Amino acid sequence: MSTPSDDVAHSATTPIIEDDQGQQVNVKSLFHCPVCKVFLQDPLFLPCGKTICRRCLPNTHLRTNITYPDTQDRARGFDCPTEGCDAEHALADCNPDVTVGKLLDAVREVITSDSDDNSSSHDETLEQEKIKEAARPELDCHVCYQLFYHPVTTVCGHTFCVSCLQRAVDHAPYCPVCRKPLSCQPQNNPYSIPGSKLLSTLLDSSLFKDEVEARMEMLAAEASGNTDSKCTTPIFVCTAAFPTIHTPLMIFEPRYRLMLRRALEGSRQFGMVLPSRHRPEGFEEVGTMLYIERVQFYPDGRSRIQTTGTMRFKIVEHDILDDYIVANIQPMNDISLAEEEALEARETADVTVEINTTNGAAEGESLVAQGENGEQQSNDETDKGPTTPEDIDRMPTRDLLAYAKNFAQEILAQGYLRVDPNVLGDIEGNHQEDPVLFPWYFASLFPLEDSNKQRLLCAVSVRERLKICCKIILTWETGRLRPW
């Protein structure tokens, strides 16, 4: 005696649709169990993404050579009975497929009623529309209430768009429907949760092709914000970052988890600016673009990233996208070499000064200062280095670098500070010798105030940045105040 499911499986009416490969398939076959080949009953979702009848679940066995996670509910498993899958599944990872179950109930009613129709004339297009109409209400995500896009099914059997599940777990690691804890990390790795092959095939078919394409366009518009806006660069308001310098960061806020995912899917870049109490926007307008080198994900959803500064920028305008800032930026470039030379010549024209840059640690030559009349001053007056900001303003750019570099080397030699390998490890040597790079090295080595860091970022001259570093050193030296 045949069952209603068998009658459905062998129905003479077989409406045809096209799958994602353009091949013609029987729409009813999409709802068949891949094991028994009849209409699914009591659907069970497997970790490989396939859905089978519960009655088709094979006998389980005790899993061996498994020490993590060594929990009782994962002790038993079975070999996947579906064609093309040789995996061993843990019994705990197989749960009722709630979404597919509701979908089957809706479609079964339509197919059964058509099977009972003994009319000789049959319109396949009409039957396709009936199936589509019945299935459509069950294909909405419970987070965004839109048509599924890249549907994934959790171990509790609920299905969501992968992007919706990622954003939900950003706030709490629980299923948005039943609040069951999720052992996987969809916010970090969307492939850690399997996609439902049945739903994916149905959505990719000609039945829902137009709706899926419209959904793709809508998601693309959401990801980029207002398409008419020029504000496309994501901005992280957190700390100071500098060109060529590594900046390790811990990402834990939901809005920045989303920003990080979008950056990883795109250019792997975002802007970093300091917060500001004095600007109405609440953040500085000059910052540094960071490139994401490495990412380490943690089970609780946090991420540790290693970034490297690429260039400075200035924010022209900004907007808000999904609670984080996006901006229209323009590069911050230094003045030309000709302008750099003219600046130094102008500032050192009145008095040519060679200040002792060794901070008392002579290197085999005595440095001499000359006044306007060409008379030499005694070494006793110069071997203490610059004593006023005016002295620093009159120093040649070469001596500014030497003074600041020798101070940094002295502090490191005395063991007061250590080089963080995550920040300066592989770039320390080059940055000490290059006047363009040294200020960034200096700002990352010493615990500067945020105001001084911002002054360095805003300066558009190598000489100006070196003068800022030297004046900070002078403040520490003359005031006997060192912040370490």
Is the pLDDT reported for residue 433 higher than 70?
yes
Place of tokens 């064609």: 83
Q: Residue 282: which residues within 8 A CB-CB, separation 6 or more?
A: 237, 275, 276
pLDDT at position 432, please? Answer: 77
Is the pLDDT reported for residue 447 higher than 50?
yes
- Report, as an integer, the average pLDDT of 280-305: 91
pLDDT at position 482, please? Answer: 60
CB 109 within 8 A of CB 102: no
- Report, as an integer, the average pLDDT of 441-449: 90
CA R_g for the chain: 33
Same fold, 4-219 and 233-331: no
- Report, as an integer, the average pLDDT of 157-174: 83
Q: Residue 12: which residues within 8 A CB-CB, separation 6 or more?
A: none
Cα dihedral: 30, 34, 37, 42 (round 10): -80
Is the pLDDT reported for residue 429 higher than 50?
yes
* pLDDT tens digits, 41-60: 899 988 888 899 999 999 98
CB atoms within 10 A of CB 385: 23
| Residues 443, 447, 448, 454, CA torsion sign | positive
What are 39's two structure tokens?
Answer: 């209409």
Burial class (CB in 10 A: 0-12, 13-18, 19+), 83: exposed
DSSP 230-288: S--EEEEESS---BT-EEEEEE-SHHHHHHHHHHHHTTSEEEEE-B-SSSTTSB-SEEE
Single-letter amino acid code for the residue at 83:
E
Partners of residue 326 on adjacent β-strands:
234, 319
- Report, as an integer, the average pLDDT of 361-367: 38
Residue 444 has φ and ψ, to the nearest 5°, of -85, -25
Is the pLDDT reported for residue 229 higher than 70?
no
CATH 1.10.240.10 is the classification of domain 233-331: no
Q: Where are the domains of the chain?
A: 4-219, 233-331, 337-479
Q: Quick check: pTM over 0.85? A: no
DSSP 113-178: HHHT---S---HHHHHHHHHHHHGGGGB-TTT-SB-SSEEE-TTS-EEEHHHHHHHHHH-SB-TTT
Which percentage of the chain shows pLDDT scores above 90? 27
Classify 326 as helix, strand or coil: strand
Is the pLDDT reported for residue 418 higher than 70?
no
Partners of residue 327 on adjacent β-strands:
233, 318
Burial class (CB in 10 A: 0-12, 13-18, 19+), 447: exposed
Task: Give the distance, in angstroms, between the CA of residue 399 and the centroid of all CA atoms in the same chain.
Answer: 42
Fold of 337-479: Methane Monooxygenase Hydroxylase; Chain G, domain 1 (1.20.58)
What are 19's two structure tokens?
Answer: 């799958």
Cα→Cα distances 164→159, 255, 336, Å: 10, 13, 49
pLDDT at position 440, please? Answer: 93
What are 461's two structure tokens?
Answer: 């001259």
Is the pLDDT reported for residue 371 higher than 50?
no
pLDDT at position 385, please? Answer: 72
- Report, as an integer, the average pLDDT of 460-470: 94
CB atoms within 10 A of CB 356: 23
Nearest to 73 by CA among 94, 91, 96, 54: 91
CATH superfamily of 4-219: Zinc/RING finger domain, C3HC4 (zinc finger) (3.30.40.10)
- Report, as an integer, the average pLDDT of 406-425: 74
Task: Specify the higher pLDDT residue, 471 or 219.
Answer: 471
Q: Residue 187: which residues within 8 A CB-CB, separation 6 or more?
A: 166, 167, 169, 170, 257, 261, 301
Is the pLDDT reported for residue 290 higher than 90?
yes
CA angle (21, 27, 28) in 5-degree steps: 140
Is the pLDDT reported for residue 72 higher than 90?
no
Lowest pLDDT segment from 69-78, 110-119, 158-167? 110-119
Confidence category of residue 399, pLDDT binned at 50, 70, 90: very high
